């Protein structure tokens, strides 16, 4: 059984980190740009066959935006993280935990973008509910540009229970909502921290919000009342990064 990984960044990360799983690299015919040459070189260095195809043939392989490159792989066996792994992962850290919690983000494009921001910000793990939420798919991998392989993504059965377990280990939980009294620039985002981002549109669920240690908001100066969840995630994570580097 095989699967497809597409998009320049996702394929590049795959060739660098998991080349043994790649069976063939398909590249759009007559594509001679530097990015394509780099992927072809990586494939050849790992003895992976490279096949040129017309754009129409690549379009038939996947309905998604492939950017002219598709890798055919044996079924990817990514490390599967379970909620039971959280304590040992926290024990292994040599710095204060920095965690992202996604409360029911269902759009795979948003999940991929959140993972990409989490990777860039140095987040140690991303936690999300198992049910009624997006999971890792080929679309998520493509949008995440390799972050789906680099950031541990941990689906949990009971999000509130997991939050309480984090609090018992001195991790403060900051929930994001437009109704918060303090904005994120006023809050203390240093030390052991988990930031909770709510679902698209509805935000955090009531029980999730009630079990946060404090609530924060992104100050909005314009007419728009809220940001897309992936944009809001990036903004909030990097304010925490700024504070933690002071």
Residue ranges, CATH 3.40.1280.10, the chain: 83-245
Nearest alpha carbon to residue 196 among 240, 137, 152, 157: 240
Task: Establish whether 99 is an annotated binding residue.
Answer: no
Mean per-residue pLDDT, 17-41: 88
Task: Establish whether 198 is an annotated binding residue.
Answer: yes
pLDDT in tens, 34-65: 888 999 999 999 999 999 999 999 999 988 78
Model confidence pTM above 0.85: no
Residue ranges, CATH 3.30.1330.30, the chain: 2-74
CATH 3.40.1280.10 fits 83-245, yes or no: yes
CATH 3.90.1150.10 fits 2-74, yes or no: no
pLDDT in tens, 136-173: 888 888 788 778 878 999 999 999 999 999 999 999 99
Q: What is the mean pLDDT of the chain?
A: 90
């Amino acid at each position: 059984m095989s699967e497809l990984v597409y998009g320049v960044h996702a394929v590049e990360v795959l060739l660098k980190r998991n080349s043994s799983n790649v069976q063939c690299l398909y590249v759009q015919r007559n594509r001679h740009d530097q990015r394509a040459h780099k992927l072809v070189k990586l494939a050849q260095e790992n003895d992976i066959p490279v096949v040129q195809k017309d754009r129409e043939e690549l379009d038939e392989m996947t309905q998604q935006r492939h950017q002219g490159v598709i890798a055919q792989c044996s079924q990817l066996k990514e490390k599967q993280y379970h909620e039971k792994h959280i304590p040992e992962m926290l024990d292994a850290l040599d710095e204060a935990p920095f965690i992202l919690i996604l409360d029911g983000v269902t759009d795979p494009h948003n999940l991929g973008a959140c993972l990409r921001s989490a990777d860039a910000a140095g987040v140690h793990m991303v936690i999300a509910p198992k049910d009624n939420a997006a999971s890792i798919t080929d679309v998520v991998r493509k949008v995440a540009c390799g972050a789906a392989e680099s950031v541990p993504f941990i689906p949990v059965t009971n999000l509130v229970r997991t939050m309480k377990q984090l609090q018992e280990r001195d991790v403060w939980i900051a929930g994001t909502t437009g109704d918060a009294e303090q904005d994120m620039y006023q809050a203390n985002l240093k030390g052991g921290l988990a930031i909770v981002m709510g679902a698209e549109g509805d935000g955090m669920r009531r029980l999730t919000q009630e079990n946060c240690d404090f609530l924060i908001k992104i100050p909005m100066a314009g007419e728009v009342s809220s940001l897309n969840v992936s944009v809001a995630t990036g903004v909030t994570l990097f304010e925490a990064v700024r504070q933690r580097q002071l």
